[in-house]
Structure 1
Amino acid sequence: MESIFIQLPASLYTSIYERYREETGATIAACLSRLLDVGTSEDLSSDQSSQYPRPGMGTKTGKVWEIADRILKEKGSVNREAVIKACMEEEINVNTASTQYSHWRKAQPSVS
């Protein structure tokens, strides 16, 4: 695969790196690839997953998403109560768990 280099303002890259750490490059590549699937800028701005980007790994908010992913993978379905219970067992604030579960849910196009 051929590569090209693009320039980003340092402050933008820093913000992206703070959130995604070691997955920054892959995250940027995935976002750029999504541009091919979007017909217009209106389509891009209405995309639900862009409203709720995945929090960085190692953060409390990211841990909620990891827990929701794990429960979905293990059980084939997931609900708010199960995620919040698992989060509380890991000493994650109930309000953080509830908010992040909501964001996780909205970012999952295949989960209803």
Structure 2
Amino acid sequence: MATKKASSQTKTLSFVTEIPLVVSATDERVLSSKFEDIWQLYNACLGEAMRRLNLVKQSKLYQSARKIKSNKKERQKSFADANAAYGYDEYSRHAFATIIRRSWIGENID
């Protein structure tokens, strides 16, 4: 017997309008430069987060946390400890982004 899946999306009316941005050639170069710098900032943060995640997954703390099955709170705390040990917690990632943003790239983006 086939079962129907309930849709998690609600049907709401919405619309999108696009308005072309009219800028001078100079402004276009400035905006392109800023978008490129923002893209580099994003990729730097993403790359660092992925590097830290790989370190966490290779750690003994993480491996031992994976083996905990019975106690959910203990398991969550063990994973949180592994993340914190390698700077993969939210505050450490924000701190990295702040450091990067205070470098040369911060002068080029608003």
Report the TM-score range of the alignment, normalised by the length of the smaller protein: under 0.3
User: Which structure ranks higher in relative contact order (CA pairs < 8 Å, sequence separation ≥ 6)?
Assistant: 2
* TM-score, L = length of structure 2: 0.27
* TM-score, L = length of structure 1: 0.27
Larger radius of gyration: 2
